[in-house]
Structure 1
């Protein structure tokens, strides 16, 4: 490798870690919120805001740890170098995927359970409940479709479905990005605006995922086949 090639590869090596770093940074919001919730539960002090969790603690005790690991570990699935394994040994990407799929299902299913069976907190109305059911069910469906695709060795479709599932999970962090400008420019949220902002967060996350899915597919289509590459 020449010095010019090495100098070009070093910035690229640094840049490829920006995506997981940004995703982990975005994950800090739901992770911190979940940690505070677990601290409340361990403290044993019941308030009107957390009484529903004390009445049925198992779903939230499943949801918070699974979401935390899913978001942090899943961020590294977007590093291309981690997808490549050595001969006869599975890649880090494949090993992590075997952990992430069941964790994602547990996170989504426990979230759906809480949405249906927990009492609605203040500012959470019927519209937000419907949106949670729609996007939570979509996350489950995407993970299942991703699992089916990888079993069929369709790795492109597998990557696409899993990216969409992760986009729904990370939207809990996107809510802050969407909500802060609203609060600054408009004012406090209402039941309707809160539902619309959270719904917009899911849509925005999925739109970003679709953009990168399309760009990756377009780039692969333009890349010449190895058999016809110039010498």
Structure 2
């Protein structure tokens, strides 16, 4: 009976991991192209000039966000977390600084890089709100676990991870729009970006409320 019960749980773990890792793949691929561009002597264009002028924040963001998303996926498989609690704790100690590096570098880029064409004040505001929200969620999750409040720790870490995974979901909000209507305008682009974060947070809240 124990083996029969364990099998569906393992399948659930793999479904969760596969879904999260596939979602990670979109921004990681784009980030890898950006890193190759910065390190491979690609020509400087108006679109990438800001990254060549000050490359450290975008490099930190790509590396930290990629590791945060991939390592974080393994934290949210319930069966794996129960079977490897020590690994969960060790990974968590790495994930918090990685997540904060991703969030804070994103905020730095929002405030100090010149805005590319197609962005605008609404998207600027969304990036500040969700970037700050990710950092706050990770800090609150850390404070909760230090107080041995595992329920709040889990909730805040799920929220922080959901925001960090926004770039993957934003691909899914933009591609159908682009195929149906062409490149979005400034307002639509901002709303599609926000939709990626909001969708993830809605899913996160449903997961948090599961028994």
TM-score, length of structure 1 as denominator length:
0.87
Shift of 1:195: 0.4
DSSP 3-state at the match of 2:152: helix
* Structure 1 residue ranges (4+ consecutive) displaced by more than 6 angstroms after TM superposition: none
Task: Write out per-residue CA displacement over residues 106-134 of structure 1, whole angstroms, 9 at most, x where no aligned residue.
Answer: 00000100011001111111111110000
Are the counterparts in 2 of residues 83 and 94 from structure 1 also a CA contact under 8 Å?
Answer: no
The one of 144, 151, 160 aligned to 1:149: 144
Larger radius of gyration: 1
- Distance in 1, matches of 2:176 and 2:47, equals 26
Counterparts of 1:107-122 in structure 2, within 5 Å, are: 107-122=102-117
Are the counterparts in 2 of residues 52 and 118 from structure 1 also a CA contact under 8 Å?
Answer: yes
The one of 30, 35, 40 aligned to 1:38: 35
Structure 1: segments with no counterpart, 5+ residues:
220-231
Shift of 1:19: 0.6
Are the counterparts in 1 of residues 10 and 79 from structure 2 also a CA contact under 8 Å?
Answer: no
Does residue 6 in structure 1 map to residue 3 in structure 2? yes
Root mean square deviation, CA, Å = 1.5
Shift of 1:8: 4.2
Bigger mean CA offset, 90-99 vs 103-112: 90-99
Shift of 1:84: 3.4
Shift of 1:85: 6.4
Aligned length: 210
TM-score, length of structure 2 as denominator length:
0.95
Shift of 1:214: 1.2
Are the counterparts in 1 of residues 35 and 59 from structure 2 also a CA contact under 8 Å?
Answer: yes
The residue that corresponds to 2:55 in the other structure is 57
Task: Write out per-residue CA displacement over residues 23-79 of structure 1, whole angstroms, 9 at most, x where no aligned residue.
Answer: 110011110110000011012221111110111111111111000100000000012
Structure 2: segments with no counterpart, 5+ residues:
none
